[in-house]
Amino acid sequence: MELLYFLLIGLIAGWLAGLLVKGGGFGIVGDMVMGVLGAFLGGFLFRSLGLSAGGGMLGAIIVATIGAIVLILLLRLIRRA
């Protein structure tokens, strides 16, 4: 059940990041991958900076979305180079 919860958070976060960054999403699977990877990156960034987005599903979505946004922006920089 936790895996399903994690994938749902990843899907929502990837979709939100795609909307916020503009330029289209990566499809449902790509958005989910971006969201899951973004969740790891966001968790790392928030812990490193000593920040917290609160607990529960909303906090997890916020952290994962911020991580996914950072990941998308990094990928765009790499593509340009």
Please state, in angstroms and rounded to a whole number, the distance separating the CA atoms of residues 81 and 4.
36
Tokens 């990941």 correspond to what residue?
71
Q: What is the pLDDT of residue 64?
A: 93
Structure tokens at 4: 């399903």
Instruction: Report pLDDT for 25.
Output: 65
Task: Give the integer Cα–Cα distance in Å for 38 and 32.
Answer: 9
The residue type found at 4 is L
Q: What is the pLDDT of residue 63?
A: 94
pLDDT, tens digit, for every residue of 9-55? 988 998 899 889 876 667 777 888 888 999 999 999 999 999 988 88
State the CB neighbour count (10 A cutoff) for residue 55: 8
Tell me what pLDDT residue 24 has.
Answer: 62
pTM for the complete prediction?
0.87
